[in-house]
Amino acid sequence: MDHILSGIKPTGQLTLGNYIGAINKFVKLQDKGESFLFIADLHALTLPIDPEVLRTNSRDLAAFYLAAGLDPNKSNIFLQSDVSAHAELAIILQNYLYMGELSRMTQFKDKSSKMKEEAIGLGLFAYPVLMAADIVLYDSKVIPVGEDQIQHVELTRDLVKRFNNRYGDVLVMPRAEVAKVGARIMSLSDPTKKMSKSDPKGDIYLKDEPAVIRKKIMSAVTDMEAHVHYDPEKQPGISNLMTIMSSLTGKSFEEIEKEFEGKGYGDFKRAVADIVCSEMENLQKRYKEVIESGLVDKVLEKGAKRANEVASKVLERVQKAVGLYHK
Ligand code: ATP
Ligand code: LTN
């Protein structure tokens, strides 16, 4: 069975973008192979974060994984920092990725452009090295991610080619698995920008009260065209709401267009709000149950045990290949 791997940074409140682009996809894939789904807490340190906030977010993220339907008997859920092989492998792999390619990464450019040069940590620059280590450490083939992470997976593929050319067939080649619909949910207040947890404007949070969600959707930025039609160039706001609706219901864009033919944006937004609110109400109910069950710590412990088993073998294989391992 193929190994499936992905992670989410516990940097803030999870958004509907994280849910549709990543978490929902993890749930759909969990029967297709053994999943390794981690909380990328080491990655969360690449930008300043309060220690208590990081701890709380990490637990919360694990609880949301479970609430969304990840089954701890099928999926290994763990903290990245509980498997020291991630950091050990990154130290080795950093020698096979280059300054030029790292400085071309969009995520690095976006995040560092708002910072003074003296304040940009090495970890932010080397972020894709650790991410490549995460991926190859589990011999994973399938990497479910949102659109913004494709570039990092592609870089990992370059690294695998480079490494295997030099040392033989050591690393398994991964590929990004991206949802056809919903890989890039946009901000409700600026539908030309990605909805992201570090940029709260226009976000829907998984913890938002239904009334808040409804208000955000009803005031989402749209256009003057006045018909529900999928056209991300001309109608980015409406297309984004259609994407949200389609991802959560499975309805195609054509079906949605037909359903709302001749109807106004008010009716359409109300329908989107109903769907999102009902999905979030169910999710929040299960989240509460998970938190109250005290299951999170046990799941993380079990996940880390299995993750360490797999990761230590791959790390050993790499150490041997480059000449470090001598037994
Ligand atoms: P940050 O704002 O802290 O950089 P983020 O909200 O972009 O965070 P990540 O932790 O970087 O979230 O992403 C976790 C997963 O969710 C990744 O696979 C990412 O591609 C996906 N994702 C994030 N935002 C969206 C979005 N707006 N639409 C679809 N997928 C998304
Ligand atoms: N970089 C990702 C989180 C992440 C990840 C990974 C995703 C860290 N390691 C490995 C897939 C595979 C992000 O910022 N969303």
Going by alpha carbons, the residue nearest to atom 4 of ligand 2 is: 7
Q: Do residues 102 and 162 share a domain?
A: yes
Phi, psi (rounded to 5 degrees) for 66: -70, -45
Alpha-carbon gap, residue 13 to 323, rounded angstroms: 43
Predicted pLDDT of residue 196:
85
Q: Is 207 designated active site?
A: no
Number of domains in the chain: 2
Q: Which residue has the tokens 């295997």?
A: 164
Closest to 105 (Cα-Cα) out of 85, 124, 80: 124
The neighbouring-strand residues paired with 58 are: none
7 in contact with ligand 2, CB cutoff 6 A: yes
Q: Is 111 designated active site?
A: yes
Closest to 192 (Cα-Cα) out of 229, 239, 230, 246: 239
Ligand nearest to the CA of 176: 2
Q: Do residues 115 and 214 share a domain?
A: no
Q: Is residue 327 included in any domain, yes or no?
A: no
Q: Is 194 designated active site?
A: yes
Q: Do residues 167 and 260 share a domain?
A: no
Ligand 1 proximal residues by C-beta, below 6 Å: 8-9, 11-12, 15, 17-18, 20-22, 145-146, 148-149, 183-185, 194-198
Predicted pLDDT of residue 230:
98
The neighbouring-strand residues paired with 75 are: 35
Q: Per-residue confidence of the chain (327 residues) as pLDDT tens digits?
A: 899 999 999 999 999 999 999 999 999 999 999 999 999 999 999 999 999 999 999 999 999 999 999 999 999 999 999 999 999 999 999 999 999 999 999 999 999 999 999 999 999 999 999 999 999 999 999 999 999 999 999 999 999 999 999 999 999 999 999 999 999 999 999 999 999 887 777 999 999 999 999 999 999 999 999 999 999 999 999 999 999 999 999 999 999 999 999 999 999 999 999 999 999 999 999 999 999 999 999 999 999 999 999 999 999 999 999 999 765
* Residues 46/121, Cβ–Cβ less than 8 Å: yes
Q: Is residue 149 included in any domain, yes or no?
A: yes
Predicted pLDDT of residue 326:
67
Q: What is the CATH number of the domain that holds 270?
A: 1.10.240.10
Q: Do residues 217 and 236 share a domain?
A: yes
**In one letter, which amino acid is 105?**
M
Q: Do residues 220 and 112 share a domain?
A: no
pLDDT in tens, 39-91: 999 999 999 999 999 999 999 999 999 999 999 999 999 999 999 999 999 99
Closest to 68 (Cα-Cα) out of 323, 325, 284, 221: 284
Ligand nearest to the CA of 12: 1
Angle between helix axes 127-136 and 150-167 (nearest 10 degrees) is 70
Alpha-carbon gap, residue 268 to 265, rounded angstroms: 5
Q: Is residue 232 included in any domain, yes or no?
A: yes
Q: Do residues 234 and 309 share a domain?
A: no
Q: CB-based contacts of 161: which residues, under 8 Å, 6+ apart?
A: 173
Q: Is residue 310 included in any domain, yes or no?
A: yes
Predicted pLDDT of residue 201:
78
Supply the range of the domain harboring residue 27.
Answer: 3-183+295-322
Q: Do residues 241 and 313 share a domain?
A: no
Q: Do residues 128 and 247 share a domain?
A: no
Distance 7 CA to ligand 1 centre (A): 10
Distance 20 CA to ligand 1 centre (A): 10
CA atoms within 13 A on the CB side of 142: 21
Q: Do residues 22 and 166 share a domain?
A: yes
Q: What is the CATH number of the domain that holds 26?
A: 3.40.50.620
Closest to 44 (Cα-Cα) out of 123, 99, 143, 107: 123
Q: Is residue 119 included in any domain, yes or no?
A: yes
Q: Do residues 223 and 119 share a domain?
A: no
Q: Do residues 90 and 218 share a domain?
A: no
Q: Do residues 270 and 151 share a domain?
A: no
Alpha-carbon gap, residue 81 to 62, rounded angstroms: 14
R_g of the chain computed on alpha carbons: 21
Q: Is residue 252 included in any domain, yes or no?
A: yes
For the chain, the three-class secondary structure string (H helix, E strand, C coil) is CCEEEEEECCCCCCEHHHHHHHHHHHHHHCCCCEEEEEECHHHHCCCCCCHHHHHHHHHHHHHHHHHCCCCCCCEEEEEHHHCCHHHHHHHHHHHHCCHHHHHCCHHHHHHHHCCCHHHCCHHHHCHHHHHHHHHHCCCEEEEECCHHHHHHHHHHHHHHHHHHHHHCCCCCCCEEECCCCCCCCECCCCCCCECECCECCCCCECCCCHHHHHHHHHCCCCCCCCCCCCCCCCCHHHHHHHHHHHHHHCCCHHHHHHHCCCCCHHHHHHHHHHHHHHHHHHHHHHHHHHHHHCCHHHHHHHHHHHHHHHHHHHHHHHHHHHCCCCC
Q: Is residue 199 included in any domain, yes or no?
A: no
